[in-house]
Structure 1
Amino acid sequence: MNLEETIKHTRKKAEEMATKSVELFPSCEGRKYLDCAEEYYQLADWLEELKELREYKKKMKAQFLDDIENPLEPIKLSSALESEIFKYEYRTEHDPQKISPLDYTIIYALKHCLEEQLKEVE
């Protein structure tokens, strides 16, 4: 079963649990079937999110290979932003006096450039 089939199957099970009789779902072990159905709906939502993230990751990797010379390519900006945020969080936790206004400026500039580049892609 692939991810798309799993999502459909999970949503179908959730709908069945929300509408069918107790005898059909012994796996719920005495819990309210609406609660069990809610868990299946949540699982389906998480699987949808996983699918979207995989598609986004695939798109970003393809873009990186297509435009490797562009210094403002979204994947490069995103990596730089993640690195700056990591550095900021590390300093916040271990050495707060080393945080400077330049750290905030770099994070804001990278975020702004990334947002602008993503607007152009869409």
Structure 2
Amino acid sequence: MSMTIESTTLWMRACGLRDLEPGWGEVALLGGRQVALVRVSADEVYAVDHLDPHTGAPVMARGITGSRGERPTIASPLHKEVYDLATGECFTDPALSLRTYPSRIVDGAIEVAIEAEPEVAA
């Protein structure tokens, strides 16, 4: 007998776009995960893990937003590691990476794609 484990991606509503100020982050609890939502412009929002990859502290929504060229970034408020908001790549320490989540704006609301717990099918 063979078993297959399937995971499903769910788009979860986090908040209204107007609830976030450009240049700032906020935290949303989505599917049991703390996700930092960062609005960088009028219609551009990124979703990343709220846990700092270096320390494990839940602080990334309080990070410092900026850019490296055309790439929007967030710097950890603790040790100032700088991460690409789109890819999670760490510019200051290649051994670190920040988990990112797909996000979109639908009818004025921010939605984030979260993987649901895998289901085992027999």
Q: What TM-score comes out, normalization by structure 1 length?
A: 0.23
Structure with the greater alpha carbon radius of gyration = 1
Structure with greater strand share of residues = 2
TM-score calculated relative to the size of structure 2: 0.23
Higher relative contact order (CA 8 A, sep 6+): 2
